[in-house]
Amino acid sequence: MERIPILKMGEFLLVTIQVDMHDRLALTLQDDLTSQIVKFRTHGVLIDISALEIVDSFIGRMLASIASMAHLLDAQTVVVGMQPAVAITLVELGLPMKGIRTALDVEKGMIALRSAILEAGQDGDTGSIR
Amino acid sequence: MAIRVVSAELMEIRSSDDVVLVRQAVRKKSIALGLGLVDQTKVVTASSELARNTLDYGGGGVARLELVENGTRSGLRITFEDQGPGIADLDLALTDGYTTGNGMGLGLSGAKRLSNEFEIWSKLGEGTRVSILRWK
Protein backbone atom coordinates (compact mmCIF):
# COMPACT_ATOMS: atom_id res chain seq x y z
CA MET A 1 0.00 0.00 0.00
CA GLU A 2 1.12 3.53 -0.79
CA ARG A 3 2.37 5.43 2.27
CA ILE A 4 3.93 8.75 3.07
CA PRO A 5 7.28 8.12 4.81
CA ILE A 6 7.85 9.53 8.29
CA LEU A 7 11.50 10.07 9.22
CA LYS A 8 12.88 10.46 12.71
CA MET A 9 15.24 13.42 12.69
CA GLY A 10 16.89 13.83 16.07
CA GLU A 11 14.16 14.67 18.53
CA PHE A 12 11.61 15.45 15.80
CA LEU A 13 9.59 13.65 13.17
CA LEU A 14 9.79 14.79 9.56
CA VAL A 15 7.02 14.11 7.09
CA THR A 16 7.72 15.00 3.47
CA ILE A 17 4.61 15.09 1.35
CA GLN A 18 5.65 14.58 -2.24
CA VAL A 19 2.71 12.94 -3.89
CA ASP A 20 -0.72 14.12 -4.86
CA MET A 21 -2.76 13.56 -1.73
CA HIS A 22 -5.98 11.59 -1.86
CA ASP A 23 -8.35 10.54 0.92
CA ARG A 24 -6.92 7.12 1.75
CA LEU A 25 -3.37 8.37 1.81
CA ALA A 26 -4.34 11.25 4.12
CA LEU A 27 -6.07 8.90 6.57
CA THR A 28 -3.11 6.51 6.53
CA LEU A 29 -0.78 9.41 7.27
CA GLN A 30 -2.88 10.47 10.27
CA ASP A 31 -2.74 6.92 11.60
CA ASP A 32 0.98 6.46 11.00
CA LEU A 33 1.98 9.83 12.35
CA THR A 34 -0.01 9.65 15.58
CA SER A 35 1.43 6.16 16.26
CA GLN A 36 4.97 7.41 15.64
CA ILE A 37 4.48 10.42 17.92
CA VAL A 38 3.57 8.07 20.74
CA LYS A 39 6.24 5.51 19.87
CA PHE A 40 9.12 7.99 19.81
CA ARG A 41 7.65 10.28 22.49
CA THR A 42 8.44 13.22 20.25
CA HIS A 43 7.27 16.75 20.97
CA GLY A 44 7.69 18.09 17.48
CA VAL A 45 6.54 17.29 13.93
CA LEU A 46 7.73 18.99 10.74
CA ILE A 47 5.59 18.64 7.66
CA ASP A 48 7.46 19.55 4.48
CA ILE A 49 5.09 20.56 1.69
CA SER A 50 7.68 22.10 -0.65
CA ALA A 51 6.88 19.47 -3.28
CA LEU A 52 3.15 20.24 -3.20
CA GLU A 53 2.03 22.21 -6.24
CA ILE A 54 -1.35 22.98 -4.75
CA VAL A 55 -3.00 22.99 -1.35
CA ASP A 56 -6.77 22.83 -1.62
CA SER A 57 -9.28 22.84 1.23
CA PHE A 58 -9.01 19.04 1.53
CA ILE A 59 -5.25 19.12 2.11
CA GLY A 60 -5.57 22.24 4.26
CA ARG A 61 -8.11 20.48 6.45
CA MET A 62 -5.87 17.44 6.68
CA LEU A 63 -2.91 19.54 7.79
CA ALA A 64 -5.07 21.28 10.40
CA SER A 65 -6.39 17.99 11.78
CA ILE A 66 -2.92 16.48 11.94
CA ALA A 67 -1.76 19.53 13.91
CA SER A 68 -4.72 19.17 16.32
CA MET A 69 -4.16 15.45 16.78
CA ALA A 70 -0.45 15.98 17.40
CA HIS A 71 -1.29 18.70 19.90
CA LEU A 72 -3.51 16.31 21.85
CA LEU A 73 -0.52 13.97 21.98
CA ASP A 74 1.67 16.78 23.34
CA ALA A 75 3.50 17.44 20.08
CA GLN A 76 3.77 20.71 18.15
CA THR A 77 3.54 20.87 14.36
CA VAL A 78 5.23 23.23 11.92
CA VAL A 79 4.44 23.16 8.20
CA VAL A 80 7.46 24.13 6.10
CA GLY A 81 8.33 24.93 2.51
CA MET A 82 5.06 26.29 1.13
CA GLN A 83 5.54 27.55 -2.43
CA PRO A 84 4.76 31.26 -3.01
CA ALA A 85 2.08 30.49 -5.63
CA VAL A 86 0.41 28.17 -3.12
CA ALA A 87 0.37 30.89 -0.45
CA ILE A 88 -1.21 33.38 -2.88
CA THR A 89 -3.85 30.85 -3.91
CA LEU A 90 -4.66 29.78 -0.34
CA VAL A 91 -5.43 33.35 0.70
CA GLU A 92 -7.68 33.88 -2.31
CA LEU A 93 -9.37 30.55 -1.71
CA GLY A 94 -10.14 31.83 1.78
CA LEU A 95 -8.67 28.87 3.61
CA PRO A 96 -8.23 29.65 7.28
CA MET A 97 -4.85 28.12 8.10
CA LYS A 98 -5.23 29.44 11.64
CA GLY A 99 -3.57 27.35 14.27
CA ILE A 100 -1.02 26.06 11.78
CA ARG A 101 2.53 27.26 12.32
CA THR A 102 4.62 27.70 9.21
CA ALA A 103 8.30 28.26 8.45
CA LEU A 104 10.19 28.81 5.21
CA ASP A 105 12.34 25.67 5.34
CA VAL A 106 13.17 22.66 7.49
CA GLU A 107 15.98 24.45 9.31
CA LYS A 108 13.81 27.42 10.27
CA GLY A 109 11.03 24.97 11.05
CA MET A 110 13.20 23.25 13.65
CA ILE A 111 13.91 26.58 15.33
CA ALA A 112 10.18 27.37 15.31
CA LEU A 113 9.43 23.93 16.76
CA ARG A 114 11.87 24.38 19.63
CA SER A 115 10.32 27.69 20.64
CA ALA A 116 6.79 26.27 20.21
CA ILE A 117 7.67 23.36 22.48
CA LEU A 118 9.20 25.70 25.05
CA GLU A 119 6.11 27.91 24.94
CA ALA A 120 3.77 24.95 25.35
CA GLY A 121 5.79 23.75 28.32
CA GLN A 122 5.76 27.13 30.03
CA ASP A 123 2.06 27.68 29.56
CA GLY A 124 1.43 24.33 31.10
CA ASP A 125 -1.35 23.88 28.62
CA THR A 126 -0.16 20.57 27.24
CA GLY A 127 -2.97 18.23 26.41
CA SER A 128 -5.56 20.93 25.92
CA ILE A 129 -6.95 22.07 22.59
CA ARG A 130 -5.89 25.50 21.42
CA MET B 1 -17.74 38.15 -28.59
CA ALA B 2 -18.84 34.54 -28.63
CA ILE B 3 -16.60 31.90 -27.13
CA ARG B 4 -15.24 29.32 -29.54
CA VAL B 5 -14.07 25.94 -28.29
CA VAL B 6 -10.66 25.05 -29.70
CA SER B 7 -10.28 21.64 -28.09
CA ALA B 8 -12.14 19.58 -25.51
CA GLU B 9 -11.44 16.62 -23.30
CA LEU B 10 -13.90 14.71 -21.14
CA MET B 11 -12.88 13.04 -17.88
CA GLU B 12 -14.85 10.87 -15.48
CA ILE B 13 -14.90 11.64 -11.77
CA ARG B 14 -15.76 8.43 -9.92
CA SER B 15 -13.13 8.22 -7.18
CA SER B 16 -10.67 10.25 -5.20
CA ASP B 17 -7.96 9.13 -7.63
CA ASP B 18 -9.92 10.70 -10.48
CA VAL B 19 -9.82 14.03 -8.64
CA VAL B 20 -6.03 13.77 -8.73
CA LEU B 21 -6.12 12.91 -12.45
CA VAL B 22 -8.35 15.91 -13.21
CA ARG B 23 -5.92 18.13 -11.31
CA GLN B 24 -3.01 16.83 -13.36
CA ALA B 25 -4.89 17.26 -16.64
CA VAL B 26 -5.86 20.84 -15.76
CA ARG B 27 -2.23 21.60 -14.91
CA LYS B 28 -1.13 20.24 -18.30
CA LYS B 29 -3.71 22.32 -20.16
CA SER B 30 -2.87 25.51 -18.27
CA ILE B 31 0.78 25.05 -19.14
CA ALA B 32 -0.18 24.45 -22.79
CA LEU B 33 -2.21 27.67 -22.66
CA GLY B 34 0.83 29.51 -21.36
CA LEU B 35 -0.55 30.56 -17.97
CA GLY B 36 1.95 31.78 -15.38
CA LEU B 37 2.65 29.72 -12.28
CA VAL B 38 0.30 31.63 -9.98
CA ASP B 39 -2.58 31.43 -12.47
CA GLN B 40 -1.87 27.73 -13.03
CA THR B 41 -2.00 27.16 -9.29
CA LYS B 42 -5.28 29.06 -9.00
CA VAL B 43 -7.04 27.18 -11.78
CA VAL B 44 -5.74 23.78 -10.59
CA THR B 45 -6.82 24.54 -7.00
CA ALA B 46 -10.28 25.71 -8.13
CA SER B 47 -10.64 22.54 -10.24
CA SER B 48 -9.63 20.40 -7.31
CA GLU B 49 -12.34 21.95 -5.12
CA LEU B 50 -15.01 21.50 -7.80
CA ALA B 51 -13.95 17.95 -8.74
CA ARG B 52 -14.19 17.00 -5.08
CA ASN B 53 -17.66 18.59 -4.85
CA THR B 54 -18.74 16.59 -7.91
CA LEU B 55 -17.56 13.43 -6.18
CA ASP B 56 -18.72 14.11 -2.60
CA TYR B 57 -22.02 15.88 -3.22
CA GLY B 58 -22.94 14.90 -6.77
CA GLY B 59 -22.07 11.24 -6.38
CA GLY B 60 -19.58 11.49 -9.24
CA GLY B 61 -19.83 12.95 -12.70
CA VAL B 62 -17.69 14.36 -15.46
CA ALA B 63 -15.24 17.18 -16.03
CA ARG B 64 -14.95 18.80 -19.45
CA LEU B 65 -11.68 20.60 -20.09
CA GLU B 66 -11.79 23.07 -22.96
CA LEU B 67 -9.30 25.41 -24.50
CA VAL B 68 -11.40 28.34 -25.71
CA GLU B 69 -10.97 31.66 -27.46
CA ASN B 70 -13.10 34.72 -28.03
CA GLY B 71 -11.28 36.36 -30.90
CA THR B 72 -8.87 38.42 -28.85
CA ARG B 73 -7.77 36.05 -26.13
CA SER B 74 -7.60 32.41 -25.22
CA GLY B 75 -8.54 30.69 -22.02
CA LEU B 76 -9.16 27.44 -20.20
CA ARG B 77 -12.71 26.48 -19.29
CA ILE B 78 -13.50 23.55 -17.04
CA THR B 79 -17.05 22.37 -16.54
CA PHE B 80 -18.06 19.93 -13.81
CA GLU B 81 -21.35 18.13 -14.20
CA ASP B 82 -23.17 15.61 -12.05
CA GLN B 83 -26.61 14.00 -11.91
CA GLY B 84 -26.72 14.25 -8.15
CA PRO B 85 -29.36 15.68 -5.81
CA GLY B 86 -28.79 19.28 -6.89
CA ILE B 87 -28.39 22.36 -4.71
CA ALA B 88 -31.49 23.73 -2.96
CA ASP B 89 -30.22 27.27 -2.35
CA LEU B 90 -27.44 28.46 -4.66
CA ASP B 91 -26.87 31.74 -2.82
CA LEU B 92 -26.43 29.87 0.41
CA ALA B 93 -24.15 27.30 -1.25
CA LEU B 94 -21.94 30.15 -2.48
CA THR B 95 -21.60 31.59 1.02
CA ASP B 96 -18.18 31.16 2.63
CA GLY B 97 -18.27 28.58 5.37
CA TYR B 98 -21.64 27.07 4.48
CA THR B 99 -21.59 23.33 4.02
CA THR B 100 -24.05 20.46 4.12
CA GLY B 101 -21.19 17.97 4.32
CA ASN B 102 -18.21 17.89 6.59
CA GLY B 103 -16.00 20.14 4.50
CA MET B 104 -15.19 23.73 5.25
CA GLY B 105 -17.71 25.27 2.89
CA LEU B 106 -15.08 26.92 0.73
CA GLY B 107 -15.30 24.86 -2.43
CA LEU B 108 -17.77 26.89 -4.49
CA SER B 109 -17.02 30.35 -3.13
CA GLY B 110 -13.28 29.71 -3.24
CA ALA B 111 -13.39 28.36 -6.81
CA LYS B 112 -15.37 31.45 -7.84
CA ARG B 113 -12.78 33.78 -6.33
CA LEU B 114 -9.96 31.90 -8.06
CA SER B 115 -11.54 32.18 -11.53
CA ASN B 116 -12.14 34.97 -14.04
CA GLU B 117 -15.59 33.68 -14.92
CA PHE B 118 -17.87 31.41 -12.96
CA GLU B 119 -21.24 29.91 -13.84
CA ILE B 120 -23.43 27.55 -11.90
CA TRP B 121 -26.63 25.74 -12.75
CA SER B 122 -28.44 23.36 -10.46
CA LYS B 123 -31.84 21.78 -10.21
CA LEU B 124 -33.11 19.67 -7.33
CA GLY B 125 -33.23 16.03 -8.30
CA GLU B 126 -31.48 16.65 -11.62
CA GLY B 127 -27.94 17.67 -10.88
CA THR B 128 -25.41 20.45 -10.84
CA ARG B 129 -23.16 22.01 -13.44
CA VAL B 130 -20.37 24.40 -12.52
CA SER B 131 -18.15 26.12 -15.02
CA ILE B 132 -14.99 28.12 -14.42
CA LEU B 133 -12.91 30.01 -16.94
CA ARG B 134 -9.47 31.57 -16.72
CA TRP B 135 -8.27 33.83 -19.51
CA LYS B 136 -4.64 34.03 -20.44
Whether residues A89 and B49 touch (CB distance < 8 A) is answered with: no
Owning domain of residue B78? 4-135
Quick check: A85 and B20 CB within 8 A? Answer: no
* A-to-B residue pairs, Cβ atoms closer than 8 angstroms: 68
Q: Is residue A128 part of a domain?
A: no
Using the beta-carbon criterion (under 8 Å), do B45 and A55 form an inter-chain contact? Answer: yes
CA of B95 to nearest chain A CA: how many angstroms apart? Answer: 11
Q: Is residue A129 one of the residues assigned to a domain?
A: no
| Mean pLDDT, all residues of chain B | 94
Residue B77's contacts (CB-CB under 8 Å, 6 or more residues apart) are B3, B5, B65, B66, B67, B68, B131, B132, B133
| Shortest Cα–Cα distance, A35 to chain B (Å) | 25
Which among A54, A83, A92 is the nearest to B44, CB-wise? A54
| Residue A130 counted as domain residue | no
- The answer to whether position A1 is within a domain reads no
- CATH of residue A101's domain is 3.30.750.24
Looking at the domain assignment, is residue A81 inside a domain? yes
User: Given an 8 Å threshold on Cβ–Cβ distance, is B19 in contact with A95?
Assistant: no
Output the tens digit of pLDDT for each of chain A's 130 residues.
Answer: 678 999 999 999 999 998 777 778 888 999 999 999 999 999 999 999 999 999 998 889 889 999 999 999 999 999 999 999 999 999 999 887 777 899 999 999 999 999 999 988 876 554 444 4
**How many structural domains compose chain B?**
1
**Residue A84 placed within a domain:** yes
pTM: 0.90
Q: Do B104 and A95 touch (CB under 8 A)?
A: yes
Percentage, residues of chain B above pLDDT 90 = 82
Number of domains in chain A: 1
CATH number at residue B101: 3.30.565.10
What is the residue range of A60's domain? 6-123
